[in-house]
Amino acid sequence: MDNKILEAFNESYVGKEFIYKSKYGSRTKGVVEKIFSSETLLFDEDTEKRLLYRVNHSRKGDGTMEKPELKGVEKFYAIQPVFHIESTNGVTYKLDECYFIL
């Protein structure tokens, strides 16, 4: 991912107050210490099945798991960036769950 986006977020929001709204309706006020990113990966169905098979097979180690049935779908690999806020009290929130106080 391009670090220019992350740099712009940090320049704009570090030190700003925000409100985190939980899925249960509570609200928490905080101050941004830094913003950082992570990435969520998405693969085609066949690749996901192969990866799951390899992870499970390596855990069991006994070779009893069936090999996955593959569909021959078009292969792809995609990335979704996810941005997070770390508050001055050390708690991390997803950026899309926070509202900045104007």
Q: Residues with Cβ < 8 Å from 42, sequence gap 6 or more?
A: 76, 77, 78, 79, 80
Please report, in angstroms and rounded to a whole number, the separation of the first and last CA atoms in the chain. Answer: 28
Q: Sign (positive/negative) of CA torsion 10, 11, 15, 20?
A: negative
Per-residue pLDDT tens digits of the chain, which is 102 residues long: 568 999 999 999 999 999 999 889 899 999 999 999 999 999 998 888 888 888 877 766 655 567 777 777 788 889 888 999 999 999 999 999 999 999
pTM for this prediction: 0.69
Query: Are the C-beta atoms of residues 87 and 32 closer than 8 Å to each other?
Result: yes
The tokens of 74 are what? Answer: 């078009």
